[in-house]
Structure 1
Amino acid sequence: MAEGFVEKVEKTTPEEVAESYFMALINRSMLQVVMRNPAGRPKALKMHDLMQGLALLVLKKEKFCTVLYDGSTDHQGSDQENGAHHLSILSSDHRELLKSWKSKSRLRTLFVFATNVFSPSLNTLPSGLKLLRVLDLEDAPIVKLPDELVQLFNLRYLNLRGTRVKELPKSIGRLHNLQTLDITDSKIEVLPTGITNLRHLIMYRCNRGHYSDFDYTYGTPSPSNICKLKNLQVLACVEANAGLMKQTKNITQLTRIGITKVREADNKDLCISIQNMKLLRYLFVMVTDEEEYLRMEALSSAPPCLNMLILVGKLEKVPRWFHSL
């Protein structure tokens, strides 16, 4: 979606169109399913060796992407000035490779794969990245985002999953085209307001090594303007509070939501919100601690599209709407 590969189809969301592409590729054996989630949806995919070889030939011919290693070796045999729109960096010092790459002005996608856990921070971005749509820094050992980030006006996808970043720039609201923000398992604890066009806000965190404990996962406080995100499709995972419970009544277009630290007093408002989410497919609800009751009886029926339900807490009785699942 972020790279602009998804066509517009009337009365269909971009997410649904994109998923149809994946299913078509799987059905044609161009992609193979490695793992599925409990609902049967493909979770991890790989490409067959023969298909990958053909793809690499096409990539080289079309000058579609470049891969830079330490020593600036491109495994497709193209030089650094081939004008590719997509760049992957596998390096212990990605800053130097970014500086040396000559085709920055055409770059749409940047993936950084740090090969050294002691890699330096990405303190600055080179100039000329005005067309960048995708910035993926997953697991990169960075602690601070460069100031130039808020100047990437075309940025649609920002992945900071697993990084050591502690805060987002307060002016991140200037990124009006940003659709996906993933801060899963980062150090970010507070989200600034001002982000307006997000479709996917993914921000749950896990207690590594504590999967047997009750609080193996926890959310992040939501931005105060969450109800203004009218395009939001995915909200996972957010900490409950009185304000959030009231605001979620207004974001009925969600297809996926995860809420942690739900108190018994929140249950009625939560049920009213869920009742209004007719498109909801995934619901995760977790109470504050293992002694807290989760009372979901106020929900008369489950959302009609629901295909995954995770409830974490004490159930005094099985809700009547379970029969409608």
Structure 2
Amino acid sequence: MKEILNLSYNDLPLHLKACLLYLSIFPENREIDIGRLVRRWIAEGFITGARGVSMEETARSYLSELISRNMVQPLHPNHDGIPTYCSVQPVMHDFIVCKSMEENFATLVGARHQDVSTSNSTIRRLSLQNSSKQDQPAARNESTDLSHSRSITIFGHASTMPRLDDLKVVRVLDLEGYDGQVCLDGLCKLLLLRYLSLRGTDVSELPAQIGDLRCLETLDVRSTKVKELPPSIVRLEKLTHLLAGSAKLPGGITKLKALQTLSCQAKMKSSVDVIQEINGLANLRELELSGDEKEVMFPGDGFRSLKQLYISCSSPLVTFEPSALPMVQELKLTFEKGLADGSSSVSGIENLSNLKHLFVKFSQHDAGAMATVNAARNAAQAILPNRPEITLTVAGRNY
């Protein structure tokens, strides 16, 4: 079997070899979010842009090639049949872990790889996986030089995290799901950092000077205790993906001209309406809004590039004016309950001329929920010539 895998691996072009070995960083049997993987590949510099093709499209084509060669398994396809997660079979995972160690591509600490941390070679990428107390010196830089590390990844129950002060060339710092104590001292000195994920950690506040990270492309603080983002964040001119979750945005967010993905509260730190504030983000492709905002209105003169819109609120009123969101193809609305007066929560869906997929979901059954479901169905069916695919759910039942 190893010989067959070796032949398949040696047949790969160099850029695909790097992308495949990168999967050794993730624990065995892990379902890997493809969006996360793609953004990390880009931050590492594995993806070369081509004229007329975005880096993300190129990265996804690389993944498709690995899938077509049966080296990576696609998981959880969306409504268009495109996988949203991927994984590596155990036999293949063992193979790429061995290759990764042989080529000093990544250093794995914890799980079945405790012995790897004793290597004297340069650590280029460090992955801490459920490590024990004996691995703490490696993680804390006490016996290990991490000054050449390009990425640091910590999973789950790793015993500790490295000090950030000496990570001079790190590009990727991914602590998603780390359940230990996170210390961000020295974070703002990581001037080459491109990808920062604190998702699912106990972090409650970001450093005030996070705007010094001028190379940062992805910032993910979803499912943390962070309530609002520092004002300096608007200095991050290269920021492409801002995944703030329930955190509120500061004023001046329109300065982030490169922003393509935004997840945030429907309310801002100031009294300014978030839609009014971000309306002019010309490159925004994906928007996710959450919170308890009572009314959300999309004007007819903004969001010219937006393709995906997700709104998750308790019981808001959502309105799409004529000519609003001309490029939106996917609309997902998730509410807890309908309006108290029994009227529809949503109006103007018929104005979304390019809509292909409509999802409306209510957690509880009431008159307002049913009014919204019926109105959404009628409005979507009025979109010609291509009627969108419609999924309507109330209290777990499809309509």
- TM-score interval, smaller chain: 0.7 to 0.9
Distance 1:59 1:263, change over 3 A: closer
Counterpart residue identity of residue 23, structure 1? S
Equivalence map 1:254-293=2 (5 Å): 254-261=284-291, 265-269=295-299, 272-274=301-303, 276-277=304-305, 279-280=306-307, 282-289=308-315, 290-292=337-339, 293=344
Q: How does 1:165-176 map to 2 (within 5 A)?
A: 165-176=203-214
| Counterpart in the other structure of 1:103 | 145
Q: Do structure 1's residue 297 and structure 2's residue 348 form an aligned pair?
A: yes
Three-state SS of the structure 2 residue aligned to 1:106 is coil
Q: For the structure 1 residues 307 and 42, does the alpha-carbon distance in structure 2 shift closer, same or farther, using more than 3 Å as the test?
A: farther
> Quick check: which has more Rg, 1 or 2?
2
Q: Offset of 1:224 from its aligned partner?
A: 1.8
Partner of residue 126, structure 2: 87
Give me the TM-score of the superposition, normalised by structure 1: 0.80
| Counterpart for residue 57 of structure 2 | 16
CA contact (8 A) 1:283 1:310 kept: no
CA offsets, 1:40-80, max 9 Å, x none? 321221123443343233212311111123898235xx743
Change (3 A) 1:312 1:285: farther
Distance in 2 (CA, whole Å) between partners of 1:34 and 1:22 is 12
Q: How does 1:160-239 map to 2 (within 5 A)?
A: 160-195=198-233, 196=236, 197-204=238-245, 219-239=246-266
Q: What CA distance in whole angstroms lies between the structure 2 residues aligned with 1:308 and 1:100? A: 52
> Equivalences for 1:108-187 in 2 at 5 Å?
108-115=150-157, 119=159, 122=161, 125=163, 127-187=165-225
2:105 alignment counterpart: 64
Over the matched positions of the two proteins, sequence identity in percent amounts to 27
Q: What is the one-letter code of the residue matched to 2:276?
A: K
Distance 1:101 1:41, change over 3 A: farther
- Taking CA–CA contacts closer than 8 Å with sequence separation of 6 or more, which of the two structures ends up with the larger relative contact order? 1
SS of the residue aligned with 2:147? helix
Could you list the runs of 5+ residues in structure 1 that have no partner in the other structure?
Answer: 205-218
Query: Is the partner of 2:64 in helix, strand or coil?
Result: helix
Instruction: Count residues in correspondence.
Output: 299
Which residue number in structure 2 is paired with residue 36 of structure 1?
77
Amino acid of the structure 1 residue aligned with 2:287:
I
Q: Is contact 2:165–2:185 with CA below 8 Å preserved after alignment? A: no
Which one of 277, 286, 303 corresponds to residue 247 of structure 1?
Answer: 277
- Whole-Å Cα distance in 2 between the matches of residues 37 and 252 of structure 1? 26
Distance (whole Å) between structure 1 residues aligned to residue 175 and residue 204 of structure 2: 14
Q: SS state of the match for residue 107, structure 2?
A: strand
Alignment check: 8 A CA contact 2:100 2:106 kept:
yes
Deviates more, 1:170-179 or 1:186-195: 186-195
- Cα–Cα, structure 1 residues 66 and 265, in superposed 2: closer, same or farther, change >3 Å? closer
Per-residue deviation at 1:10? Answer: 1.0
Shift of 1:183: 1.2
Once the 2 structures are TM-superposed, how far is the Cα of residue 288 of structure 1 from its aligned partner? 4.2
Give the RMSD, CA atoms, in angstroms.
2.9
1: distance between equivalents of 2:223 and 2:276? Answer: 27
Following the alignment from structure 1 to structure 2, what is the Cα–Cα distance between the partners of residues 53 and 70?
13
Deviation at residue 37 of structure 1 after TM alignment: 3.3
Q: Is the 8 A contact 1:33 1:44 kept in 2?
A: yes
Distance change >3 Å, CA 160–CA 126, structure 1 → 2: closer
Contact map agreement 1:81 1:103 (CA 8 A) in 2: no
Further displaced range: 228-237 or 48-57 = 48-57
Q: Secondary structure at the match of 1:67?
A: strand
Give the letter aligned to residue 157 of structure 2. T
3-state secondary structure, aligned to 1:15: helix
> What letter is aligned with 1:188?
V
Deviations 1:112-168 (A, max 9, x none): 12426xx56x5x715431100011111222455322011101111111111111010
Cα gap change, 1:20 to 1:309, in 2 (>3 Å): farther
* Contact kept? 1:233, 1:255, Cα under 8 Å: yes
Tell me the alpha carbon deviations over residues 224-260 of structure 1, each in whole angstroms, 9 at most, x when there is no partner. 2221111111112432464311122211322211123
Q: With structure 2 as the length reference, what TM-score do the two structures score? A: 0.66
Question: Aligned equivalents of 2:289 and 2:263: distance in 1?
Answer: 7
Quick check: 1:267–1:296 contact (8 Å CA) kept in 2? no
CA 176–308 in structure 1, closer or farther in 2 if over 3 Å, else same? farther
